[in-house]
Amino acid sequence: DGGITQSPKYLFRKEGQNVTLSCEQNLNHDAMYWYRQDPGQGLRLIYYSQIVNDFQKGDIAEGYSVSREKKESFPLTVTSAQKNPTAFYLCCSRGNNEKLFFGSGTQLSVL
């Protein structure tokens, strides 16, 4: 089945550690996005990529980094510079007519 796969489902980060969240899609979509979800705040855009080898900062990019070396993959690294990383992270890709296809998310917590 086509879709977005995020892994792991749960992730724990130690202080000062970088961690990477995986996002893979087999929908052949060009555009991919990372959102952060905090209770009561909706979804906020971290980074987006319109095409392979290109990505742009979203509204809350500080403390995060991404790469887009393959069309299928858009990993997100939460660096030690992100002082409040505990959140639910959602990856999605954009299909026709602006429809977004979401993965099932990664819950990141700090030890």
Partner 1 sequence: AQSVTQLGSHVSVSEGALVLLRCNYSSSVPPYLFWYVQYPNQGLQLLLKYTSAATLVKGINGFEAEFKKSETSFHLTKPSAHMSDAAEYFCAVSSMFSGGYNKLIFGAGTRLAVHP
Q: In this structure, what is the dihedral angle of CA atoms 89, 95, 99, 101, given to the nearest 10 degrees?
A: -30
- How far apart, in Å, are the Cα atoms of 25 and each of 14, 51, 55, 80, 106? 28, 13, 16, 27, 15
Q: Does 104 bind partner 1 (CB under 8 A)?
A: yes
Burial class (CB in 10 A: 0-12, 13-18, 19+), 89: buried
One symbol per residue from 29 to 68: x for binding partner 1 (CB under 8 A), - otherwise; what is it? Answer: --x-x-x----xxxxxx--x-x-----x-x----------
Q: Does 108 bind partner 1 (CB under 8 A)?
A: no
Nearest distance from residue 98's CB to partner 1, in Å? 5
Nearest distance from residue 104's CB to partner 1, in Å? 5
**Chain center to CA of 8:** 12
Q: Are 46 and 76 in contact (CB under 8 A)?
A: yes
Q: Does 25 bind partner 1 (CB under 8 A)?
A: no
Residues 63-92 that bind partner 1 (CB under 8 A): 90, 92
Binding site for partner 1 (CB under 8 A): 4, 6, 9, 31, 33, 35, 40-45, 48, 50, 56, 58, 90, 92, 94, 97-100, 102-105, 107
